[in-house]
Amino acid sequence: MSLGTIRPTFKIQRCGPIIAGGAVGVPIGVALLSYIEPSFFKLFVGLVRYFALIVPAMLIPNAIGNKLYARLGDETFRKTVLLLLTVLSVAIAANAGTIVFGK
């Protein structure tokens, strides 16, 4: 999206918190880099990446499930979930069989 597209609705007042956060946060972050141990920093960055992957993986299926529940109703949704669990259980058991027996 280009600035020309959003220019009619762009309001500079809404950028204040972002600019203030950057003006305060960047110098503090630069100052802390000389005090933080590199292994701790790498661990923290790794956890943030992991968290960034896990949160959508939890929220997206939850949102889809809520919409399906609202559309299908209680009984049909329950049967659908039971069917999906059965199919996945059979697929996992078949995969485990090929790993154990090598076929």
State the pLDDT at residue 1.
44
- Residue 77's CB is within 10 A of a number of other CB atoms, namely 15
Share of the chain above pLDDT 70, in %: 91
Evaluate if residue 89 carries a pLDDT over 50: yes
**Model confidence pLDDT, tens digit, residues 10-48:** 777 888 888 888 899 889 888 888 888 888 888 888 888
Q: For residues 76 and 72, give the distance between their C-alpha atoms in angstroms, rounded to a whole number.
A: 6
State the pLDDT at residue 86.
95
Please list, residue by residue across 9-44, b when 16 or more beta carbons sit within 10 angstroms of its beta carbon and e when fewer do: eeeeeeeeeeeeeeeeeeeeeeeeeeeeeeeeeeee
